Amino acid sequence: MDQKQTHWEHFFRDDSSNMLEDALPYLPPTLKKSAALYIKLHELQNIMEDFDDEDTLSACGLDQNNASLEMMLTAMRMRAPKETSKQIDQILQMMKMAKMYQSYQDFLQANPNANASPGNSSADSDMMAKLMPLFMSQSQPEKQEAANAPNSDLLNQINQILKK
């Protein structure tokens, strides 16, 4: 088939379904639809029987209650077309930057003496200018691809403004 089988799908499939799926292109046109429906119905039957089984859920990785939006986007990115994948990368980068900024804010709240002049906005921009390269390096693991990204000019301009 065209779609790559995910790591957990094989728990709800058996060898006969996989072999029948491999045979689909070679079946007469009148049997293809029936065989494809049989494969999916058999898979649905297995899901209904095994989905509530703790061992199966654990083996599939479907028992994770701590799944996050970041994990979901990363999983979706693997199957996304190239353009959508780039957009998901940008979202993930923004999420990482937001987390880092929140950590910075938490640090400042926990250590009020860390910011020498809390009312001085130039001190904040100096701190941001120093932290921006760190943000950029952590949010762009593939620097060569990021340089070709449509928003790279905007990010470079923001970085230059913060350095002034």
Question: Domains of the chain: which residue ranges?
Answer: 9-60, 69-163
The torsion of the CA quartet 138, 122, 154, 88, rounded to 10 degrees, works out to: 40
Please give the C-alpha separations between residue 144 and each of 23, 47, 139, in angstroms, as whole numbers.
42, 43, 13
Token pair recorded at residue 100: 């880092």
pTM: 0.42
For the chain, give the longest Cα–Cα distance: 78
> Of the spans 31-40, 66-75, 110-119, which averages the highest pLDDT?
31-40
Contact 83, 57 (CB under 8 A): no
Residue 151 binned pLDDT confidence (cut-offs 50, 70, 90): low
Token pair recorded at residue 4: 């790559």
